[in-house]
Amino acid sequence: MKKVIEIFKRDISRLGKSPAAIIVAVGMCIIPALYAWFNIAANRDPYGNTANIKVAVANNDVGAENKKRTLDAGRQILDQMEENDDLGWVFTDEEDAVDDVKSGKYYAAIVIPETFSADLLQIEDGTLGSPEIKYYVNEKRNAVAPKITNTGSTTIQDKIEEEFYKVASETIAEELQDLGVSLGDDLETANDNILSMISDARDNFQSYQQVLADFQATISQGTTQIQHGKATLVKAVEAADAGSTAFQDAKDALASSRKSVRSFGSSFDQSLSDGETLLNNVYATASTKLTGLETTATQAQKLLAAGQTYSQKIDTDSKKAIETLTQTIPVVDAQIQEKIDYINGKIAEVNASLAYLESRPDAEKATEDYQVKYQTAVATKAYLEKTLAEVQAMKEATDGSLAKLKYALGQLQEQNETLTTTLANVNANSGKLNDVMSTMGTAKTSIDGILTQGKSTLRDVRASLNNNLLPGVATSLDTVSNVTGDLKTTLNDASATASQMQGVMDQLSKSLTEGSKALGETGDTLENLDARLAGLQNDLETLRASDAYQDILDLQDVDPDAVSAFMTTPVTLTTTTFYEVEDYGSGMTPFYTNLALWVGGMVLIALLKQEVDEDEKVKKFTLTQAYFGRQMLFILLSIVQSLIICLGDLYLLKVQCVHPGLFILTGVIAGLVYLSLIYAITAAFKHIGRAIFVFLVIIQIPGSTGTFPVEMMGGFYKAIYRLMPFTYSNTAMRECIGGLYYNTWLKNIGILAAYFLLALFIGLVLRPLLLNLNALFDRKLAEADLIIYEENDKTTDLTPELIARALQSDSEAREEFCGRAARFEKHYKNRKRFGFLTMAVVPLIFLILMFSVESKLVFLVLWICTLIGVSIYLVWLEYQHERMQKQLKLQGFSDGDLLAALKEERA
């Protein structure tokens, strides 16, 4: 902590000694505040100045009239616009209005057509017209102005609809009023007429009752005659059924005979088919077996020849392998033993050096040079002993493997000799195999002739049965069966006809019975209707004396103006506002304040150095001490920036703020979080870090709900907005401006503070790992002599790791590394060209896809990620190339030079 304070004090001292530096520091603190103040002031109340937005109005309406009223709706709209200051209305003709909107002189234009009033009055004639107003807008001139002019046009539409409702409701009320006058006269006349008609209807009901009684007597006589006819039909049906049964028995017997003939034909035909199939199966089986034996014999002859060739090759190869192995084993043993002797000699030399060093006086042992030599000797001895153990283990493993290999080759040679003897015996009997193959060919030819003759005989028998005998028998039986069926059908038809007649008579009897019943019910209905008409007479007399009857007569007193007023505004909207914000500028204050705080951090990083140098006041500090020491200066300036911005918001612009103290605290915390992130990213990634924090502010402007709700944004921003620090600082500041809701402020500040941990991880963990890589990057930038860069005193060309690796490597390891370096160098330029080519081609591919695919934002992000990935690849490639060059440089150093370099690095 002491070194951190020393670095901070020195930075303050340096800053105070230079008036120019003080002026720059003051500018760094004020300029971000100006960014916030100008934007907040410009957006303080933009919707209060909409009267300056020019909108042309052209009225072509000629008015309209009918029997009841005269209407000039276009003139009324113009009168209302003259009293309305929401927009800058400019009254002109249609041609100039449209042309001036196209040229950009006016943002929009409203044109009222000639028939507008006439279309409105169509409602009085019972016709639903469609009044129309033309609206022209120039969306190119400004993004927000069309939305405002659209609101103005909507207001006009609402006014017109209100006028339409007023005219319609007045018309309906007047019609009701006229209807009430005529309805009073018509009701009395209608009432008298209805009572007279009811009296006449009741007089006619008596004659209807006598007619119904006569119909019922006639129906009773018809029912008796139907019963006699049904008895005669029953006897006819019984006779027809007896004849039909006899003919059915004969037909069944014929069908049974024909079925037996078919069954016999099928069975006999199946037997012939089975015989033919059996012959085919016998032939197939015999042919397959004989063919298989021929094939097997042929394959056996081929295998015998191949086996003899293979056996001879195994014998030759195994003898040659045993001879080579016998010559190689002594050479390998000698080489391994030579390595062991060499390592033992080196260990003896190191032991001698250690003995010499341990015998030195204590005063010399206390020196740093002695410690370096002693530690190097100990490390070298440990490495040599480890290498010796590995070589001895390798020798033992090699001896065992060579012995096993020699034994296996001997076994293979013995087995091959046995195989050669067996093949010779088999080959001696191969002549008998040829005789067997000849006999099998003769048997196969005989079987084929027998099968052909048997199949021909079976086919002749089947053809005679199916074509001559069976068809003749079936034809005779079918003729007799058809004659019998015709006789049976005739009797069945007679029986069915008689049965149908019975059904018709039953239905007729039922219908007459139901008709008699219906006539009785009709008489009852007439009696009930007469009673209801009598009740209706009494009801009409009562209605004439009721209050409802008088209310209908009072429709002539309806007030059209009262009805019209209710129809135009039937509902009253009551609004309750929570956490009211006075103006648009106060609502936008959190967004512009946070943006200014981020810009302030960017300005500090852009103008002040991140690397700490050594001088007489501050010597020998670690990377961590340097990081925190310089960060304290950044923190001080960030707090000043935050205070200036927030105090200016509150007391210079006088934005609304319910909790000003909490607002200032939120601004300070947000500024420190942003500064910590920007400082950590820049310190860890240098120029790439600057690109990263610029990219972060770019995606946070639309993606942190600062201007529009996240629900209105695309899917990409919905996915990332919770990861943006702006999201939580904006929410916390809104709580301060509009009012607190439970623990919302505390929760968002807690999440925002968690980004401190992310900044510490980047600055303290990632930065040391990337130190040499950044140094390489800065050196490459220095070669251009155009881009600003910083040198870090904590980086060196030769690291202890590389020196130690060079000390431990022997001649073979050095040769292997040189070969690897040569291969890397061979492909280095091509890889580099590939990286730059990818960086040029991939953006073109994504650019084409952005024009042809809907998900443009996704491809834009992929484009950026690809560029970052290719950049990282090129940096890694350059880093590996630089590292190879350093290692090659060390290959030319002697052990003494390497020890001296190691000592220098550790110093």
d(CA 163, CA 155): 12
* 43 secondary structure, DSSP code: T
Least confident of 25-34, 274-283, 572-581, 588-597: 274-283
For 476, what's the count of Cα atoms within 13 Å in the CB-facing half-sphere? 6
Report whether 447 contacts 287 (CB < 8 A). yes
What is the structure's pLDDT at 553?
Answer: 57
pLDDT band (50, 70, 90) for residue 388 = confident
CA distance 499 to 241: 11
758 compared with 563, residue with greater pLDDT? 758
CA pair distance 284, 454, nearest whole angstrom: 15
Structure tokens at 301: 């002859």
Secondary structure (3-state) at 130: coil
Residue-level pLDDT at 282: 42
Cβ pair 801, 712 in contact under 8 A: no
Rounded-to-integer distance, Cα 700 and Cα 705, Å:
9
Strands 108-112 and 54-59: parallel
Long-range pairs for 276-281: beta carbons < 8 A, 24 or more residues apart: 276/455, 276/458, 276/459, 279/451, 279/454, 279/455, 279/458, 280/451, 280/455
Q: What is the pLDDT of residue 579?
A: 86
Q: Which amino acid is at 122?
A: Q
Amino acid at 477: L
Select, from the ranges 18-32, 267-281, 486-500, 861-875, the one with the highest average predicted confidence (pLDDT).
18-32
Say what the pLDDT of residue 503 is: 64
Q: At what angle do helices 771-784 and 856-891 cross, to 10 degrees?
A: 90
Res 828 pLDDT > 70:
yes
pLDDT per residue as tens digits for the range 843-893? 778 777 766 656 666 777 777 788 778 877 877 887 777 777 777 777 666
Q: Which helix (H) or strand (E) holds 64?
A: strand 64-65
- In this structure, what is the dihedral angle of CA atoms 384, 386, 391, 395, given to the nearest 10 degrees? 140
* Digit-coded pLDDT (tens) for 84-134: 777 888 999 999 999 999 998 988 898 989 988 888 777 666 665 677 888
Give yes or no for a contact between 641 and 32, defined as CB atoms under 8 angstroms apart: yes
Distance of alpha carbon 118 from alpha carbon 128, whole angstroms: 12
In the prediction, which pLDDT does 380 show?
Answer: 73
Q: How many CA atoms lie within 13 A of 767 on its CB side?
A: 27
Q: What is the pLDDT of residues 317-330, one digit of tens each?
A: 556 655 665 666 66
Q: What is the pLDDT of residue 674?
A: 95
pLDDT of residue 467: 60
For residue 895, which amino acid is it?
Answer: D
pLDDT at 802: 63
Whether the per-residue pLDDT at 774 is higher than 90: the answer is no
Strand order in the sheet with 108-112: 88-91, 54-59, 108-112, 134-137
Q: Which residue has the higher pLDDT, 738 or 474?
A: 738
Higher pLDDT, 820 or 632: 632
CA distance 202 to 534: 8
Helix (H) or strand (E) holding 90: strand 88-91
Give DSSP secondary structure letters for 750-788.
HHHHHHHHHHHHIIIIIHHHTHHHHHHHHHHHHHHTSS-
Confidence of residue 331 (pLDDT cuts 50, 70, 90): low
The candidate with the shortest Cα–Cα distance to 51, out of 133, 147, 152, is 152
How do residues 413-462 score in pLDDT, each as one tens digit? Answer: 565 565 556 555 545 544 544 554 454 455 445 445 544 554 554 455 45
Q: Is the pLDDT of residue 469 over 50?
A: no
The token pair at 496 is 């069915």
Is residue 619 scored above 90 in pLDDT? no
Nearest to 642 by CA among 675, 611, 615: 675
Decide: helix, strand or coil at residue 138.
coil
The answer, yes or no, to whether residue 311 has pLDDT greater than 60, is no
Give the Cα separation of 19 and 155 in Å (integer): 60
**Phi, psi at residue 489, to the nearest 5°?**
-65, -40
Please report where in the chains the tokens 């239905």 appear, as a residue. 507
Residue 563 has pLDDT above 60, yes or no: no
CA separation for the pair 733, 36 (Å, rounded): 14
Q: What angle do CA 33, 35, 36 make, to 5 degrees?
A: 70
Residues in the chain: 907
The string of DSSP letters for 861-887 reads HHHHHHHHHHHHHHHHHHHHHHHHHHH
Q: Could you tell me which residue, 539 or 283, shows the higher pLDDT?
A: 539
Residue 508 has pLDDT above 60, yes or no: no
3-state helix, strand, coil split of the chain in percent (to 5) is 85, 5, 15
- Determine the pLDDT at residue 668: 97
- What is the Cα–Cα distance from 308 to 313, expressed in whole angstroms? 9
What whole-number distance in Å separates Cα of residue 637 and Cα of residue 829? 46
Higher pLDDT, 617 or 496: 617
How high is the pLDDT of residue 59?
92
Question: Given a cut of 70, is residue 529 above it in pLDDT?
Answer: no
Q: What is the DSSP string of 423-462?
A: HHHHHHTHHHHHHHHHHHHHHHHHHHHHHHHHHHHHHHHH
- Assess whether pLDDT exceeds 70 at residue 798: no
Task: Using the predicted structure, report yes or no on whether residue 138 has a pLDDT greater than 80.
Answer: yes
| Eight-class DSSP state of 721 | G
pLDDT at 586 over 50: yes
542 contact partners, CB below 8 Å, separation of at least 6 = none
Q: For 240-269, what is the mean pLDDT?
A: 51
Q: In terms of Cα–Cα distance, which of 759, 721, 719, 752 is closest to 735?
A: 752
Residue 604 pLDDT exceeds 80: yes
CA 386 from centre of chain: 56
For residues 837 and 498, give the distance between their C-alpha atoms in angstroms, rounded to a whole number. 103
By mean pLDDT, which of 48-57, 536-545, 576-585, 704-713 is the weakest?
536-545
Q: Does residue 312 register a pLDDT over 70?
A: no
Query: What token pair was written down for 878?
Result: 């350059």
- From the list 129, 126, 125, the residue with the least C-alpha distance to 116 is 129
pLDDT (tens digit, 9 = 90+) per residue, 692-743? Answer: 888 888 888 887 777 777 777 777 778 888 889 999 999 999 999 999 998 9
Q: Which tens digits make up the pLDDT trace of 659-670?
A: 999 999 999 999
For residue 583, pLDDT beyond 50: yes
Compute the C-alpha angle 356/358/359, nearest 5°. 65
Mean pLDDT of the chain: 71
The per-residue pLDDT for 856 is 64
Q: Do residues 26 and 638 make contact, with C-beta atoms less than 8 angstroms apart?
A: no
Q: Residue 70: what pLDDT?
A: 82
Number of H helices, E strands in the chain: 24, 6
CA 853, chain centre distance (Å) = 15
pLDDT at 162: 61
Q: Which residues, 6 or more positions from 252, have their beta carbon under 8 angstroms from its beta carbon?
A: none
Question: Highest-confidence range of 493-497, 543-547, 825-829, by mean pLDDT?
Answer: 825-829
Assess contact for 118 and 148: CB atoms under 8 A.
no
DSSP state, residue 115: T
Residue 298 CA to residue 508 CA, distance in Å, equals 98
How far is the C-alpha of 841 from the C-alpha of 837, rounded, in Å? Answer: 6
Q: How far apart are CA 709 and CA 203, in angstroms?
A: 82
Calculate Rg over the CA atoms of the chain.
57
Structural domain boundaries in the chain:
1-45+586-771, 47-142, 796-907
pLDDT at residue 326, as a whole number = 64
Cβ atoms of residues 43 and 149 within 8 Å: no
- How far is Cα of residue 542 from the mean position of the Cα atoms in its chain? 75
Residues in Cβ contact with 688 at an 8 Å cutoff, skipping those fewer than 6 apart:
777, 871, 875
